[in-house]
């Protein structure tokens, strides 16, 4: 498939990959320099570097060990998981991740309708407004969006479901990083959140489930389009 112009994050991911495979600056098992040093070496911001590392981690090229640092994966993983269609592969993996969300998140919001306190419903509504305001101001909004979904999970009052939060956070992070249709993503987020909040306020379980299903389907559809609006799956 013909590739469009790559973002700075994508270019940075390619640069790091080349440093591993072509320049042999880093070997399998090596630890990358810390964020401050590596971003200066590459001449990019720390935010761009984080995005590039996320991309390479999602593909298995890098491994992030909390409290220790970021390491180059095995030679087989490095060579087998990166190529000209690397960002298409990210989309495919993300589609799987969103399909998994489709299995459980509508049920979560239904439980929240049934179990949430009035204060929790109000907190979700306020957070939804924060997401809208952040998007309208053109500011990074992934954290606000993640908090919106975390509050819904908390309002379901099921301790095991709290383990789903990292999964949702990852899906939101990666979809924003690679999204080629950001305007659609923003629009859908605002509209879908409003629908979810309306049904939550009414404590309409079926309506809330349906609204969440729409929200996730919209995200999947956005990921299925490349810059030319062509399906990539």
Q: Is the pLDDT of residue 81 over 90?
A: no
What secondary structure does DSSP assign to 15-51, as a single string? HHHHHHHTS-SS-TTPBPPPHHHHHHHHT--HHHHHH
Domain ranges of the chain: 8-80, 87-223
Amino acid 99: pLDDT: 85
What secondary structure does DSSP assign to 99-154, as a single string? HHHHHHHHHHHHHHHHH--HHHHHHHHHHHHHHHHHHHTT---HHHHHHHHHHHHH
Amino acid 163: pLDDT: 81
Considering the domain delimited by 8-80, tell me its CATH architecture: Orthogonal Bundle (1.10)
- At the topology level, CATH places domain 87-223 in 1.20.120
The per-residue pLDDT for range 112-158, each reduced to its tens digit, is: 999 999 999 999 999 999 999 998 888 888 889 989 999 999 999 99
CA geometry: angle at 81 spanning 80 and 83, to 5°? 95
Question: What's the CA gap between 177 and 200, in Å, rounded?
Answer: 29
For 167-195, b/e burial (b = at least 16 CB within 10 A) is ebbebbbbbbbbbbbeeebbebbeebbeb
Of 92 and 24, the structure prediction assigns the larger pLDDT to 24
Amino acid 4: pLDDT: 47
* Whole-number Cα distances in Å, 184 to 6, 133, 187, 212: 19, 17, 5, 17
Q: Is the pLDDT of residue 226 over 60?
A: no
Q: Is the pLDDT of residue 159 over 80?
A: yes
The per-residue pLDDT for range 178-209, each reduced to its tens digit, is: 554 567 778 889 999 999 999 999 999 999 99
Q: Tell me what the pLDDT averaged over the chain comes to.
A: 82
Q: Is the pLDDT of residue 61 over 90?
A: no
**173 in Cβ contact with 54 (< 8 Å):** yes
pTM for the predicted model, two decimal places: 0.60
66 Ramachandran zone, left/alpha/beta (phi>0; psi -120 to 50): beta
Which residue shows structure tokens 């606000």? 144
Of 224 and 15, the structure prediction assigns the larger pLDDT to 15
Q: Residue range 100-115: average pLDDT? A: 94
Q: Residue 178 — φ and ψ, nearest 5°?
A: -100, -5
Element (H, E) at 62: strand 62-65
């Amino acid at each position: 498939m013909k590739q469009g112009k790559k973002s700075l994050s994508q270019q940075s991911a390619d640069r790091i990959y080349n440093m591993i495979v072509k320049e042999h600056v880093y070997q399998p098992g090596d630890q990358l320099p810390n964020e401050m040093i590596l971003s200066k070496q590459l001449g990019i911001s720390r935010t761009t570097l984080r995005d590039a590392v996320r991309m390479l981690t999602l593909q298995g090229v890098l491994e992030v060990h909390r409290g220790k640092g970021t390491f180059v994966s095995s030679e087989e993983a490095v060579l087998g998981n990166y190529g000209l269609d690397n960002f298409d592969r990210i989309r495919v993996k993300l589609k799987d991740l969103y399909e998994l969300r489709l299995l459980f998140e509508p049920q979560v919001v239904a439980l929240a309708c049934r179990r949430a306190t009035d204060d929790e419903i109000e907190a979700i509504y306020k957070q939804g407004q924060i997401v809208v305001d952040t998007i309208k101001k053109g500011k990074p909004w992934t954290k606000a969006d993640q908090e919106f979904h975390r509050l819904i999970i908390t309002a379901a009052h099921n301790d095991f479901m709290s383990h789903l939060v990292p999964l949702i956070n990852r899906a939101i992070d990666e979809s924003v990083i690679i999204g080629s249709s950001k305007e659609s993503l923003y629009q859908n987020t605002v509209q879908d959140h409003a629908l979810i909040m309306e049904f939550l306020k009414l404590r309409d379980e079926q309506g809330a489930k349906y609204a969440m299903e729409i929200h996730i389907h919209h995200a999947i559809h956005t990921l299925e389009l490349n810059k030319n609006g062509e399906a990539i799956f």
